[in-house]
Amino acid sequence: MKTNNKKEAEIQHQKGKLTARERIELLVDEDSFVEIDSLVETRFSQFGMDKKKVPGDAVICGWGKVKARQIYVYSQDFSKIGGSLGEAHAKKIVKIYDLALKTGCPIVGIIDSGGARIQEGVASLDGYGAIFQKMIKASGVIPQITVIAGPSAGGACYSPGLSDFVFMVKKIGQMYITGPEIIKTVTNEEVSLEGLGGADIHNQKSGCAHFICDTEEQCFTEVKTILSYLPRNNLENPPKRKGLLSELFERESARLLEIVPKQEEKTYDMKMAIKEIFDRDTFLEVQKDFAKNVIVGFVYLDGKLVGIVASQPKVLAGVLDINSSDKISRFVRFCDAFNIPLITLVDVPGYLPGIDQEQGGIIRHGAKILYAFSEASVPKISLIFKKAFGGAYIALCSRELGFDKVIAWSGSQIGVMGAEQAVKIIFRKEIENSKNPTKIEKEKIKEYKKTLSCSEAAKMGQIDIIIEPKQTRKTLIKCLDSLLNKRESKPQRKHGNMPL
Ligand code: HXC
């Protein structure tokens, strides 16, 4: 690889950032990077652009290997014309997208850019248009990862917006459609760049990013890790891991009884349960800081990669809400596109009640989960821990929605709603008219709870298997194994109309 120009390196280092080349070096295997189009020049000579003409046009493009598997990569060079995107710059990115698509390789984009190159006007806008079109064509065909390691301003944000996974580096990575100055003029609000579109905001609040990293070194290590989990394209299966099988298959999930308390009202950390059930130290959580009431991520089960979607009883009792619906749906669609089986771990009281939720569109957001799971043709297994109520049962477990295997822990409850709420509705008059309402209510709750037993659902064939918690791992392995050759045909249509 070419070396860094000293002056340009200084510009980056002074801002606490690595150079575009240093970033690629951190990402790919040693000596594997091959650069293309390093002599491509800026095309326009208006507004003093002649003086700024730079070979390579402020972006480094090429291919290399990550853990011996080929990827394509582009890295914007802020030290030249602010990494801004003009016609030639865009054409270089489009070219590597074409190559990545032809060869079925993941693509990693490293963004450090002032956005559309102002001097090139419509040519730079159309450059973005061309990139976005390629990204949309590549969606579901090759994994697309974007690293935000500098500004990503204006419409440029839609490259990360269209990516499968967005990594942001703290302090240096910022994404925003309009910056603080314009916001001040238009709405009179004052905000810093970091407070507007820093890594914390996009990982915790907006949900536009999936991973947050303290340093660039950590960031590229994590990008390499996620790439090692994923298939290179939609025609491949995810890589398997060997050597975990015998010890882990035999392991009973005995500690689950300690992790998950029997008492209904007691809460627990689902991440501990995930650790106990799946192959050790293989859980890679996605969007861990956003919508923490649900957990999504990749994990290995008996050496095979699965995507898990789990309730987190520790946060908001694990309810589904607007943000968690978006988080789950996008993850499910990624897994489905790339042949990654799905397992849900469910302990859910329902969808979150509230004016904010209703007026914020929980109906259309919640519908996304139904759509995504129902549409997914990969193996789908659901496991109910303690309870699954209402629409959340349908979304995360229902065999009628398309889950292939539905498993429940003995003693778990399934119903339209919990006994306390149900009794208030169906026995309201009886309770109100009684001499001792509290006593009657308690009796009715006890009586009603019997109808919630998972064995009632099993009698209807809606639950396939009832197990003891310690059998969890073995049962999941057997279910997954039985579904690996699953094939599902789909009706002919252009595409469905997913709620968005
Ligand atoms: C041309 C640009 C540029 C741009 C920065 N530069 N952005 N040149 N087009 N969009 C140049 C600067 O003129 C400067 O050149 C050099 O890059 C470094 O920029 P600085 O401002 O000195 O750096 P810094 O202080 O770190 O600030 C970085 C920044 C700021 C916050 C990104 O440059 C900025 O606000 N840029 C404009 C952002 C923006 O509004 N972009 C357009 C968005 S609209 P010299 O020669 O002085 O070193 C958009 C529409 C796309 O992108 C639509 C697609 C659908």
| DSSP alpha helix (H) spans, 398-491 | 419-426, 428-433, 437-451, 454-459, 472-483
Rounded Cα distance, 24 and 1, in Å = 10
Nearest-atom number in ligand 1 for the CA of 150 is 32
Residue 145 pLDDT level (bands cut at 50, 70, 90): very high
pLDDT of residue 47: 61
Question: Residue 423: pLDDT above 80?
Answer: yes
pLDDT above 70 coverage of the chain, percent:
95
- Mean pLDDT computed over 440-459: 91
pLDDT tens-digit series, residues 371-394: 999 999 999 999 999 999 999 999
Question: Residue 472: pLDDT above 60?
Answer: yes
Question: Residue 308: pLDDT above 70?
Answer: yes
Please tell me which residue, 461 or 5, carries the higher pLDDT value: 461
Rounded Cα distance, 134 and 78, in Å = 23
- Mean pLDDT computed over 227-256: 80
Which of 232, 233, 229, 247 lies closest to 299, judged by CA?
229
User: What separation in Å is there between the alpha carbon of 116 and the centre of ligand 1?
Assistant: 8
DSSP code for 29: P
Quick one: which H or E segment has residue 94?
Answer: helix 87-103
Rounded Cα distance, 146 and 161, in Å = 9
Residues identified as active-site: 154-155, 391-392
Rounded Cα distance, 28 and 125, in Å = 30
pLDDT tens-digit series, residues 196-209: 999 999 999 999 99
Model-wide pTM > 0.75: yes
Helix (H, G, I), strand (E, B) or coil at 212: strand
pLDDT of residue 41: 86
Q: Between β-strands 174-176 and 380-389, what pairing exists: parallel, antiparallel or unpaired?
A: unpaired
pLDDT of residue 132: 98
Measured CA to CA in angstroms, residue 370 lies from 48, 140, 396 at distances of 54, 19, 8
Quick one: which H or E segment has residue 344?
Answer: strand 342-348
Residue 453 pLDDT level (bands cut at 50, 70, 90): very high
User: What separation in Å is there between the alpha carbon of 330 and the centre of ligand 1?
Assistant: 31
Rounded Cα distance, 297 and 341, in Å = 12
pLDDT of residue 483: 97
- Mean pLDDT computed over 46-75: 87
pLDDT above 90 coverage of the chain, percent:
82
117 in contact with ligand 1, CB cutoff 6 A: yes
pLDDT tens-digit series, residues 160-182: 999 999 999 999 999 999 999 99
User: What separation in Å is there between the alpha carbon of 115 and the centre of ligand 1?
Assistant: 6
pLDDT of residue 45: 60
pLDDT of residue 154: 86
Question: Residue 252: pLDDT above 80?
Answer: no
127 in contact with ligand 1, CB cutoff 6 A: no
DSSP labels, 102-143: HHT--EEEEEEE-SB-GGGTHHHHHHHHHHHHHHHHHTTTS-
Question: Residue 83: pLDDT above 60?
Answer: yes
Question: Residue 147: pLDDT above 70?
Answer: yes
Domains in the chain (CATH in brackets) are 6-229 (3.90.226.10), 246-411+453-483 (3.90.226.10)
- Which residue's entry shows tokens 């298959």? 249
User: What separation in Å is there between the alpha carbon of 14 and the centre of ligand 1?
Assistant: 17
- Mean pLDDT computed over 442-471: 93
If one residue of 76, 81, 117, 181 were mutated to test the ligand 1 pocket, choosing by the most ligand atoms within 8 A of its CB, it would be 81
pLDDT of residue 197: 97
pLDDT of residue 125: 95
- Judge contact between 283 and 299, C-beta under 8 A: yes
pLDDT tens-digit series, residues 323-356: 999 999 999 999 999 999 999 999 999 999 999 9
54 in contact with ligand 1, CB cutoff 6 A: no
If one residue of 49, 80, 84 were mutated to test the ligand 1 pocket, choosing by the most ligand atoms within 8 A of its CB, it would be 84
User: What separation in Å is there between the alpha carbon of 163 and the centre of ligand 1?
Assistant: 22
Nearest-atom number in ligand 1 for the CA of 113 is 32
Ligand 1, atom 44, lies closest to the CA of 154
pLDDT of residue 245: 53
pLDDT of residue 5: 75
DSSP labels, 478-498: HHHHHHTT--------S----
Ligand 1, atom 19, lies closest to the CA of 82
pLDDT of residue 51: 63
Helix (H, G, I), strand (E, B) or coil at 421: helix
User: What separation in Å is there between the alpha carbon of 166 and the centre of ligand 1?
Assistant: 21
Average pLDDT score over the chain: 93
Nearest-atom number in ligand 1 for the CA of 118 is 9
- Judge contact between 59 and 40, C-beta under 8 A: no
